[in-house]
């Protein structure tokens, strides 16, 4: 049985929908996790495939990117945000969302190479949003970020800021295996993911606010892992600390 870890966010529902309902896959175990747990499970060989933050790719002994699909953005993504009561030049501390790995690396790159600020970094735990006040900003990702962003005077979309910095799209996560898998399963996995993206509106049909969800998966999220995104991945990975 092939074990799969996927993120349980609105933007990943098309993938999950494809895995569960396309009919292409058999004999699999699908586990729904936050991004950092997806990463940990793949690193520790607790699963065979993960929708993982791209920042962990250098930490894997072996990896293979399985599909031509990803969680990416061309411009604003809407769900990976730096939230603050103050503008960038007034920020002294940044709380880092414990759900995330790639977003943490991305905000550090933007601070050091684009915004030219040098905040203190603070790790987070569950429900840290109330600590975002004054000169303390916070990185928040996923559905939680979209729900509370209107509460803050300054909202910096990290994918948009990356595009301003590099003139490139951004890739947050992609499908990766930590070992060589049977060719037939890989072929059918690709079909299942593709089917899910094609039927993405069915996947979000029960979303709390369908109109906003529809705009998000159609306009904010760019699912194709194309050549430009692969180049952007290479550039991002080159910025990471060795």
Q: Yes or no: say if 34 and 42 are a contact pair by the CB < 8 Å rule.
A: no
Q: Helix or strand or coil: residue 24?
A: coil
134: left (phi over 0), alpha (psi -120 to 50) or beta: left
Contact present, 129 and 123 (Cβ < 8 Å)? no
- Cα separation, 184 vs 182, whole angstroms: 6
d(CA 233, CA 182): 26
Distance CA 176, CA 66 (A): 6
Which domains are assigned to the chain?
A: 2-72+170-239 (3.40.190.10), 80-166 (3.40.190.10)
Q: What is the pTM of this model?
A: 0.92
CA gap 57, 185 in Å, rounded: 22
Contact 148, 140 (CB under 8 A): yes
- For residue 130, give the DSSP letter: G
Question: Bridge-partner residues for 84, per DSSP?
Answer: 154
> CA angle, 77 as apex, 11 and 242 as ends, to 5°?
95
Per-residue model confidence (pLDDT) at position 98:
78
- Between the alpha carbon of residue 66 and those of residues 27, 46, 175, 187, the distances in Å are 18, 18, 6, 9
| pLDDT recorded at residue 242 | 57
Per-residue model confidence (pLDDT) at position 64: 96
In sequence order, what are the beta bridge partners of 53? 173
Instruction: Count the Cβ atoms, other than its own, within 10 Å of residue 109.
Output: 20
How far apart, in Å, are the Cα atoms of 237 and each of 22, 113, 159?
33, 14, 15
Average pLDDT across each block of 10 residues of the chain; the chain has 242 residues. List them in order.
Answer: 93 96 95 91 96 93 96 95 96 88 93 96 80 92 85 96 98 96 97 97 91 94 97 96 63
Q: What is the CA radius of gyration of the chain?
A: 18
* pLDDT given at position 148: 86
| Contact in structure between 157 and 80 (CB atoms under 8 Å) | yes
């Amino acid at each position: 049985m092939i074990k799969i870890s996927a993120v349980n966010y609105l933007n990943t529902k098309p993938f999950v929908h494809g895995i569960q309902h396309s009919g292409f896959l058999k004999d699999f175990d699908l586990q729904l996790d936050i991004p950092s747990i997806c990463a940990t499970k793949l690193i520790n060989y607790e699963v065979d495939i993960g929708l993982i933050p791209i920042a962990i790719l250098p930490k894997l002994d072996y990896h293979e990117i399985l599909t031509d699909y990803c969680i990416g953005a061309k411009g604003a993504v809407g769900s990976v945000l730096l939230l603050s009561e103050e503008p960038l030049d007034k920020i002294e501390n940044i709380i880092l969302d414990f759900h995330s790995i790639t977003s943490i690396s991305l905000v550090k790159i933007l601070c050091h190479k684009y915004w030219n600020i040098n905040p203190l970094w603070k790790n987070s735990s569950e429900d840290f949003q109330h600590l975002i006040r004054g000169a303390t900003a916070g990185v928040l990702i996923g559905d939680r970020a979209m729900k509370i962003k209107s509460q803050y005077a300054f909202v910096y979309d990290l994918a948009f800021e990356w595009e301003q910095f590099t003139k490139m799209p951004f890739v947050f996560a992609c499908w990766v295996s930590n070992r060589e898998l049977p060719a037939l399963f890989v072929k059918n996995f690709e079909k299942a993911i593709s089917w899910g993206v094609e039927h993405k509106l069915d996947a979000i049909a029960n979303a709390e606010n369908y109109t906003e969800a529809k705009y998000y998966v159609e306009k904010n999220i760019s699912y194709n892992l194309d050549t430009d995104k692969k180049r952007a991945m290479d550039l991002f990975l080159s910025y990471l600390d060795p």
